Structure 1
Amino acid sequence: MRTARERGSGAAWIHCHPVVIRNPARRARIGSNLVNPAELAAILLDHVRRAAAARGVGPEEITPEDVTLERPRNREHGDWASNAALKLGKRIGTSPREFAEELAAALVEVDGIAAAEVAGPGFLNITLDAAAAGVLAQRILEAGEAYGRGELYAGVRINLEFVSANPTGPIHIGGTRWAAVGDSLARLFELQGGDVTREYYFNDHGAQIDRFARSLVAAHRGEPAPEDGYGGSYIADIAARVESDYPGDLDALPRDEQQEVFRELGVAQMFGEIKASLHEFGVDFDVYFHENELHESGAVGRAVERLRSLGHIYEADGATWLATTEFGDDKDRVVIKSDGEPAYISGDLAYYLDKRERGFDRCIIMLGADHHGYVQRLMAMTAAFGDVPYVNLEILIGQLVNLVQGGEPVRMSKRAGTVVTMEDLVGAVGVDAARYALVRSSIDSQVDIDLDLLTKRTNDNPVFYVQYAQSRTRAVARNAASAGVDRSSFDPSLLVHETESELLGALAEYPRITLQAVELREPHRIARYLEDLAGSYHRWYGACRVIPQGDDPVEEVHRARLTLNDATGQVLRNGLTVLGVSAPERM
């Protein structure tokens, strides 16, 4: 928060001088609870509710959202800042500044808080005792891989459907982005206790499969690809494999029978390639659901009858309709066409009902930028089934990916012909760089990936920057062991350098960042956090020695710093794991 000195001179409260209240003990016991913002926020919330109750305001009227913390831009103003008094002063019947002073006086009585400053009209800046802040390093090492875990989705069954590329060609770059983002999001849900099923919807029903089969037949016969078919060398590769796998004489079959053979075996070959590519990319699915099953099992008919029993199906113009306008859609939707064939939405109805009947509380579907128009009708469908839109069903829409090399856009694949594929990207930069680059930007924005940058082993390359920081923590630990520095004791009060305060503050943020990332469905927040943490670590590394210089003896400060070093490495590894990116021992 900014103090009065940082505000414009026209502010009515410009002459309010900061009031600093200090804890006379200025020393917290080892084991103080003030090791992360969530714990401090809970203490602040308790004091706010007590002050409100003393003025006749019930505690239920003060929510956790009313009492938030953030890191001050200027670290001279403390470790944490809150505008709670500004937000709540008038609500409980006092001036914000007086309320802030009351809170500050209460907070400095808390073990681990060194000082509380009231600035401006009621900003509250809180400084922790060094030991209270430093004990976090030990807590992180005790938690290990569990640091950052939470219980937000404990007991919640989540079906996360992503990628779901048509089995008519290699996974294109857009699908590759969803593979990276979807898998990271699944890991975040699991980090918050969710029971996650990763699901791939296999579109093996419809016109695109017919075009694929006809393209394979044309390749087998040495004919040009059909006008509406698929090109690229992969078609010839798949056709050749079908020829090899088919036990009989393909050329002895009529063309329509040939097409059925290529449909069955060709789709299986293509799907095998897709699964192999995803596995090499570090993404494996729990369920591969075949669209064709919905139509062959009678699931579409069951979904229609369920909606009919709920009173939302009607007949008109020889067709069967779903009354989605009752639930906010711009028009009703045909479910069964007048010729008796199911319309496109019929598969959506059956598939959603199938997921809910499998016991999933939340169904999340990740779609490409060209699917914006589907959201409204799918939410109407959810409501028609009696469920809650945006809760039982969520749709995430992702924007396009552009590859750049040598300053020019990369537009075509050597193998696929018309699109850039997962194999193209991974072949150019490797799995780690590809996954990191695809996750580190918001899905709401188009992303330009510079292939030249991602192959550089410099700090300009974000994945190298983060991995190198983690690798450096490993190197420091190895060198410390050689120099006789161990973690046999730990005095957190010795971590007093300004870079140590910065680094501890960054480490404390990780649980909040993981929670925020999953609540907002934004895994890119993990990547950006890791880059900030790496920066704080590199600055600390340059300023503070873990190993004694020359013949100097090992002191407690060296052991404390080794603990901080190792804790940083643990958080970097935890974050990289969420992104599905490796954490090398050496670089």
Structure 2
Amino acid sequence: MENIVQKVKDEIKNVVINAIENSIKEGLIAVNDIPEIEIEEPKERQHGDLAINTAMVMAKQAKMPPKKIAEIIVSKMDTSNTFIERIEVAGPGFINFFLKDKFLEETLKLVYERGKDYGRVNIGNGKKVQVEFVSANPTGPMHMGNARGGALGDALASVLQYAGYNVTREFYINDAGNQIEKFGYSLEARYLQLLGIPAEVPEGGYHGEDIIDRAREFLEIYGDKYKDVPSEERRRALIEYGLKKNLEKIKEDLELYGIEYDVWFSEQSLYDSGEVYKVIEELKQKGYTYEKDGALWFKMTLFGAEKDDVLVRSNGFPTYLASDIAYHKNKFITRGFDWVINVWGADHHGHVAPMKGAMQALGIDPDRLDVVLMQLVKLIEGGQVVKMSKRTGRMVTLRDLIDEVGKDAARFFFNMRSADSPIDFDLDLAKEQSNENPVFYVQYAHARICSIIRQLEETGVKIDNIDEVDLSLLKEEEEKELIKKLAYFPEEITIAAKTLAPHRITRYVLDVASLFHSFYNSHRVKGVEEDLMKARFVLILAVKTVIKNALDILKITAPERM
């Protein structure tokens, strides 16, 4: 019984299906097919704990008013040996289910027994999943989009692990192709300038201060050693140094951000192994390419894309599309991932259909590839949009953000909304030490519980055996609402994994914190009658467990003191 809510839903489903089947047998309802039983949590508390609209779905087929159908179904229900206490027909034909208090008691026991594993489910069955995220160009520092992608991708990977998938986190290093050539020309220009030799950064090159920094560091190490060598040799040395240095910095910043990758995959390795050329040849052999204007084109329109695209330029060099197709073939065929998830910026939306089409062309089910597209981030300070770092006078980087608000606030704020929603990141709010700041509010709930537990333990109160605690004493509305919320944690993990929506966990833990604060502001734990005190002790232990588990998924600290 990992997921008590799912257990209850299964009970309701069985009770409803049996009641419909019996109604059909007795000639009370005439339908050929029993519809899928959709179970929902009503928005209004008075409408029960769970509800179904099955009678309304059946009305047309049964040629009866939905309310009448609902009443017949309910009359045939057998709820013995279930968590269902009572059933009501409401409105035009909704069937509302009210659960026994035993449901709440079993929830607390389950949280207590499972501890740090409470919330884990096994919908993944060990299926091999790769989550590729951030994958910033190693030509410069990471920006706000990378910061959001990092928080989102890492939390998604954690949710999938919690849901029973075998997850690999991967960073794809774009260390080949056109942008690396531009990187080399830009570094060369800055290096020559520092030597007093006139040189211009080429059109479309990199003009950032970080390029000057890399060229200056290179000069300090090698002096004028590369002043008179052929340009190609100079650029090669500068690229090798610059990429190594930038990657070290990217890894360092991501570790500060709480992200550890299982695999750092080099684009250049696909050229070195010949995989890019092999995949181009395979697409040629299958008849999915043609030549035009000296270039080789991929017939993407055959697979639902709006237009065809170039695989090999007229100068003989493969495009980024070619290496990306080879990369995805490597994921599915060479390394055998069952499911691949890419977290990309919204500006990559035009790349989704071609990539899925290319998989189809290679005989790989395109549904095994999912792409999460995330919208832009705006930094707000003092009500104004921030574009530059106060410290450096340059664009705000991931490192600037961590220095400014800390890892916890950054990760929490970036995971508060779905990937397809733009984010206004309020720097002032993220630094605020008050209940207005959502991450502070959640962390304070955890610290507050830890403080209560310390006080109880200091007075000798402890739980030796949960079965000896009378949990039926938890009858207050605030207690019941809080326990019911805790019951839904495994369900939230399940939905977040299925919908690739880790922000659900952030919203969920905020709700738990809010319900805890409401409970604690209305009811005492310490100083009440001993049996009730022990029951409430079990309750706050369960809340602490769930908050900690949710924050662990988000890789956010759960402080014991604040």
Q: For 1:353, which of 315, 329, 349 is the aligned residue?
A: 329
User: 1:51-88, CA deviations, whole angstroms, 9 ceiling, x for partnerless residues?
Assistant: 2333169999556x523130x33323433333233334
> When the two structures are superposed, what TM-score results if normalisation uses the length of structure 2?
0.91
Show the counterpart of 1:531. 510
Show the counterpart of 2:342. 365
CA shift for structure 1 position 200: 0.9
Change (3 A) 1:104 1:457: farther
Q: Distance in 2 between matches of 1:34 and 1:306?
A: 46
Change (3 A) 1:419 1:197: same
Question: Quick one: which amino acid aligns to residue 110 of structure 2?
Answer: R
Q: Distance in 2 between matches of 1:117 and 1:485?
A: 42
CA shift for structure 1 position 298: 1.1
Task: Please list, as runs of the form range in 1=range in 2, the aligned pairs for 1:186-225 lying within 5 A after superposition.
Answer: 186-220=157-191, 221-222=193-194
Change (3 A) 1:112 1:376: closer
Contact 2:86/2:97 (8 A) holds in 1: yes
Contact 1:162/1:179 (8 A) holds in 2: yes
Show the counterpart of 2:246. 270
Q: Distance in 2 between matches of 1:373 and 1:35?
A: 39
Any idea what SS the aligned residue of 1:164 has? Answer: coil
Contact 1:231/1:416 (8 A) holds in 2: no
Q: For 1:556, which of 522, 526, 531 is the aligned residue?
A: 531
CA shift for structure 1 position 172: 0.5
Show the counterpart of 2:106. 135
Identity %: 38
Contact 2:295/2:312 (8 A) holds in 1: yes
Show the counterpart of 1:36. 4
Q: For 2:148, which of 177, 193, 214 is the aligned residue?
A: 177
Show the counterpart of 2:557. 582
Question: Quick one: which amino acid aligns to residue 458 of structure 2?
Answer: S
User: 1:529-581, CA deviations, whole angstroms, 9 ceiling, x for partnerless residues?
Assistant: 111111111111112222125xxxx5222111111111111111111111111
Q: Distance in 2 between matches of 1:515 and 1:153?
A: 10
Q: Distance in 2 between matches of 1:278 and 1:58?
A: 61
Alignment partner of 1:480 is 2:451 = no
Q: Distance in 2 between matches of 1:157 and 1:180?
A: 21
Show the counterpart of 1:495. 474
Contact 1:324/1:384 (8 A) holds in 2: no
- Higher mean displacement: 204-213 or 470-479: 204-213
Q: Distance in 2 between matches of 1:59 and 1:349?
A: 50
CA shift for structure 1 position 156: 1.5
Residues matched between the structures, number: 548
Contact 1:35/1:135 (8 A) holds in 2: no
Q: CA RMSD in A?
A: 2.6
Question: Quick one: which amino acid aligns to residue 53 of structure 2?
Answer: N
Contact 1:200/1:288 (8 A) holds in 2: yes
Question: Quick one: which amino acid aligns to residue 583 of structure 1?
Answer: A
Question: Quick one: which amino acid aligns to residue 327 of structure 2?
Answer: Y
User: 1:448-489, CA deviations, whole angstroms, 9 ceiling, x for partnerless residues?
Assistant: 011011111111101111111111221121112123332233
CA shift for structure 1 position 328: 1.2
Show the counterpart of 1:451. 427
Change (3 A) 1:383 1:315: same
Contact 1:50/1:59 (8 A) holds in 2: no
Unpaired runs of 5+ residues, structure 1, are 1-32
CA shift for structure 1 position 504: 1.2
Q: Distance in 2 between matches of 1:103 and 1:486?
A: 47
Task: Please list, as runs of the form range in 1=range in 2, the aligned pairs for 1:74-473 lying within 5 A after superposition.
Answer: 74-88=44-58, 91=61, 95-104=65-74, 106=77, 108-220=79-191, 221-222=193-194, 226=201, 228-246=204-222, 249-251=225-227, 253-357=229-333, 358-389=335-366, 391-413=367-389, 418-473=394-449
Any idea what SS the aligned residue of 2:494 has? Answer: helix
- Higher mean displacement: 373-382 or 206-215: 206-215
Q: Distance in 2 between matches of 1:145 and 1:252?
A: 62
User: 1:371-404, CA deviations, whole angstroms, 9 ceiling, x for partnerless residues?
Assistant: 1211221121121112222x22122211100101
Q: Distance in 2 between matches of 1:244 and 1:157?
A: 46
Any idea what SS the aligned residue of 2:218 has? Answer: helix
Contact 1:66/1:88 (8 A) holds in 2: no
Unpaired runs of 5+ residues, structure 2, are none
CA shift for structure 1 position 363: 1.6
Contact 1:215/1:229 (8 A) holds in 2: yes
Change (3 A) 1:293 1:477: same
Alignment partner of 1:508 is 2:487 = yes
Change (3 A) 1:570 1:185: same
- Higher mean displacement: 193-202 or 125-134: 125-134
Q: Distance in 2 between matches of 1:154 and 1:441?
A: 28
Question: Quick one: which amino acid aligns to residue 458 of structure 1?
Answer: S
CA shift for structure 1 position 225: 6.6
Q: Distance in 1 between matches of 2:531 and 2:178?
A: 71
Question: Quick one: which amino acid aligns to residue 76 of structure 1?
Answer: Q
Question: Quick one: which amino acid aligns to residue 467 of structure 1?
Answer: Q
Any idea what SS the aligned residue of 1:402 has? Answer: strand
Q: Distance in 2 between matches of 1:537 and 1:225?
A: 61
Alignment partner of 1:543 is 2:522 = yes
Q: Distance in 2 between matches of 1:481 and 1:436?
A: 31
Change (3 A) 1:206 1:542: same
- Higher mean displacement: 94-103 or 233-242: 94-103
Q: For 1:52, which of 20, 27, 34 is the aligned residue?
A: 20
User: 1:211-235, CA deviations, whole angstroms, 9 ceiling, x for partnerless residues?
Assistant: 3233333433327872543344433
Change (3 A) 1:416 1:366: farther
Question: Quick one: which amino acid aligns to residue 199 of structure 1?
Answer: E
Q: Distance in 2 between matches of 1:233 and 1:495?
A: 61
Change (3 A) 1:306 1:75: same
Contact 1:159/1:198 (8 A) holds in 2: yes
CA shift for structure 1 position 188: 0.9
CA shift for structure 1 position 151: 1.9
